[in-house]
Amino acid sequence: MTDNKQLKSLEDPVDKLKGVGPKKAKALNKLGISTINDLLEYYPIRYEDFSIRGLTMAKDGEKITVKGDIVTEPRAVFYGRHKSRITVKLAINDNEIIELVFFNQPWLKKQLSVGQKLIVYGKWNLSRRSLSVIKTLDNVTDSKFSANYASNKEIKQQTIAQLVKLAFDEYQDVIYSILPNFLIQKYKLMDRKTMIHNLHFPKNQDEVTLAKRTAVFEEFFLFEMRLQMAKAQDKNNHGLVIEYNNEKLKQFISKLPFELTNDQKRVVNEICFDLKRPIHMNRLLQGDVGSGKTIVAAIAMYAAITGGYQAALMAPTEILAEQHAKNLAEIFADCPVNIVLMTGSLKSKIRKNNLLNIKNGEFNLIIGTHALISDDVEYHNLGLVIIDEQHRFGVEQRKALRQKGMNPDILSMTATPIPRTLQITAYGEMDVSLIKHLPAGRKPIQTRWLHHAQTPTAINFILKELAKGRQAFIVTPLIEESETLDVQNAIAVYEKIKTDFAPKFKVGLLHGRMKDDEKSAVMQDFKKQKYDVLVSTTVIEVGIDIPNASVMLILDADRFGLSQLHQLRGRIGRGEYNSTCIVVADPKTQYGIKRMETIVKVSDGFTLAQKDLELRGPGDVLGTKQTGVPDFKIGDPVKQINILQIAQQEAISLINQPGWEKQPENRELVGYENYLLKKHSMID
């Protein structure tokens, strides 16, 4: 028996189960099930309660199970093609008779008869006193619960249920608790074997509730342990000690044409403290649109340069990289900083010369796009890497840039405010700095919501602003006309606005299919006021700085999420003028209406990001699935953030205990986490 146990492992392939051949194993693989553990962690998506009870407390629309005797002959009504409706009366007891309705089961007319005893499960219609039957049951006890699983065309949920039962029966002796016993006792959780049993084969709702709470805590805790172990390992990878010149840094800051906000000062101190430590910096700087992250990044880069190192800034687009290069050239005009711009569109001769001067250290501030991680780019002594809008880069891109130096310090920036949930999950391995308040003098942007029929009102408002010498953005969700979506497209809007506004005002067009040099030319012309209006897709969402633009019109605004709308309107209000963002939409759902109402009322990006997260989910908020946002099997980090925070605190507490990994009660946890760390490295 003992030998048999030793041979069994939860990592055994699922085809070790009787009845699972290549075809069934392939179908299970499509559901993410390749091992016995995967199968046991393939938790039910819902439960059906087949316990028989009276109708007194039954609510309209509730699914219930009833038992009784048929008291009328079945009546059949046929309609449409292959559609039918069979009805009978069922006596629940001496005082209660209800109607049963069976849809599209014509054979029941011959099978049902007066006096027949029946147990049925269905949806209760309170006003009609009728039950739309979902399932006819053969035999039910008062405590019967049934788990339902997500399935596909190749494998039925009933088959999944049978395989889960088989796996549990055969492997239950090797299901050990991964959570340390003190946590199970502290939070009154179940051991792992009981948890898995009660998730798949519960007797009642109470068992499901406690088992779910245990599974959610376990999943969050294991994730947080993985993050904290990765973070601790990262800290052990000794980073560079950048001994920057404090006097030069103070002098640089004192000559800025404005005073730093308290938030900016605090963040600068956090970054500078990290630079001087022999521990690798992996910090996320987040701040709302216009909060002043760029100047903080400039100070950090200058600190690295005064310490004798190169600094690199990677932006997601050529337009943004060029803008950074131009702005930083002005900021560092009186400093010994040699800037080079590296983008994919550079001519061969210029690129070759730049590569040489990056390698020999002539250039100490390198700005660019993904071109910075090209194989032929060699740095002299890269000490600090700044990644702008870091969620727009995949994990591999971030890793490649980091490997260009001798473990350089990393400062990632984002203008997409990260809600607490995502700080714990997607960015849990990073230290977080926050610029919450905007610099003094930044005027708030007024936001108005108009329906499509009111678009002429918006156009008239734009014309008035243009007459004052201001500029305007008009944003559309699509480039060209779509056969499936009835929304505005940039090319059609451009043609119409260009005609309507001629000859007094000039109109430009910008969209994602244009070449990078074309996009750059359009943006430069718009900044130089060669265009009065720029019709664009969301390519202008990040970082574009046009101080003279005072109005933005967003068409079909219900096609965008709250965070994206907030990023778009952040392109205006960057100068001295009062600015207005007009969102035009006719949302067809309450969800759409709520979004439009929220964008009008709320100007704080962090509040909007949290609401966006609740409505749309992490991947959509960040705009990419390459961000490291985990797909939890049972936990919901948004709705269950309290459990997530507790799990994080417990993980940090355990990691900080010297020798925790050698304690006997943590043996299963250490083994499990080490296995996962090897399988899915969390360190970029």
pLDDT digit string (tens) for 175-195? 999 999 999 999 999 999 999
Give the pLDDT score at 621. Answer: 46
Q: Ranked by mean pLDDT, which of 90-104, 219-233, 403-417, 462-476 comes out on top?
A: 462-476
For residue 396, pLDDT over 70 is answered with: no
512 and 459 together in one domain: yes
131 and 78 together in one domain: yes
Give the pLDDT score at 617. Answer: 59
Mean pLDDT confidence for 6-21:
88
Q: What span, in angstroms and rounded, lies between the C-alpha atoms of 634 and 196?
A: 12
Q: What span, in angstroms and rounded, lies between the C-alpha atoms of 186 and 180?
A: 10
Mean pLDDT for the chain overall: 86
Largest Cα span, the chain: 98
CATH number of the domain to which 410 belongs: 3.40.50.300
For residue 150, pLDDT over 80 is answered with: yes
375 and 455 together in one domain: no
Mean pLDDT confidence for 119-126:
92
Q: How confident is the model at residue 539 (pLDDT cuts 50, 70, 90)?
A: confident
Q: Are 164 and 185 in contact (CB under 8 A)?
A: no
577 and 457 together in one domain: yes
For residue 394, pLDDT over 60 is answered with: no
304 and 388 together in one domain: yes
Give the pLDDT score at 323. Answer: 86
- Inter-CA distances, 186 with 12, 178, 196, 635, 650, Å: 32, 15, 20, 20, 11
Q: What is the phi/psi pair of residue 48, to 5°?
A: -110, 130
Flag whether 484 is in a domain: yes
Flag whether 7 is in a domain: no
548 and 457 together in one domain: yes
- Inter-CA distances, 459 with 533, 575, 587, Å: 11, 22, 20
Q: Are 585 and 447 in contact (CB under 8 A)?
A: no
Instruction: Give the domain-ending residue among 117, 137, 157.
Output: 137
Flag whether 169 is in a domain: no
Q: What is the pLDDT of residues 316-340, one digit of tens each?
A: 888 888 889 999 999 999 999 999 9
Q: How confident is the model at residue 531 (pLDDT cuts 50, 70, 90)?
A: very high
Q: Are 650 and 221 in contact (CB under 8 A)?
A: yes
Q: Which of 145-159, 294-308, 342-356, 416-430 has the lowest mean pLDDT?
A: 416-430
For residue 381, pLDDT over 60 is answered with: yes
**Which own/partner contact pairs does 243-252 have at CB distance under 8 Å and 24+ positions apart?**
243/276, 243/307, 244/272, 244/275, 244/276, 244/303, 244/304, 244/306, 244/307, 245/306, 245/307, 248/302, 248/306, 249/299, 249/302, 249/303, 249/306, 252/299, 252/302, 252/335
404 and 458 together in one domain: no
Flag whether 105 is in a domain: yes
455 and 510 together in one domain: yes
For residue 240, pLDDT over 90 is answered with: no
Q: What span, in angstroms and rounded, lies between the C-alpha atoms of 497 and 514?
A: 20
Flag whether 258 is in a domain: yes
Q: Which of 140-144, 372-376, 625-629 has the lowest mean pLDDT?
A: 625-629
503 and 572 together in one domain: yes
Give the pLDDT score at 646. Answer: 94
Instruction: Give the domain-ending residue among 414, 437, 461.
Output: 414
Q: Are 310 and 366 in contact (CB under 8 A)?
A: yes
User: In the chain, how many domains are there?
Assistant: 3
Flag whether 424 is in a domain: no
Q: How confident is the model at residue 683 (pLDDT cuts 50, 70, 90)?
A: very low
491 and 382 together in one domain: no
Q: Which of 256-270, 446-460, 619-633 has the lowest mean pLDDT?
A: 619-633
> Nearest Cα to 354, choosing from 362, 408, 329?
362
Mean pLDDT confidence for 354-374:
92
Instruction: Give the domain-ending residue among 602, 621, 656.
Output: 602
Mean pLDDT confidence for 191-200:
96
> Nearest Cα to 343, choosing from 325, 359, 364, 331?
325
Q: Ranked by mean pLDDT, which of 93-107, 139-153, 355-369 comes out on top?
A: 355-369
Query: Which residue range(s) make up the domain with 255?
Result: 246-276+292-414
Q: Are 22 and 157 in contact (CB under 8 A)?
A: no
Q: Are 242 and 407 in contact (CB under 8 A)?
A: no
Flag whether 328 is in a domain: yes
Flag whether 425 is in a domain: no
The pTM score is 0.68
Give the pLDDT score at 401. Answer: 65
CATH number of the domain to which 84 belongs: 2.40.50.140
> Nearest Cα to 520, choosing from 374, 326, 298?
326
499 and 570 together in one domain: yes
Percentage above 90 pLDDT, the chain = 51
268 and 398 together in one domain: yes
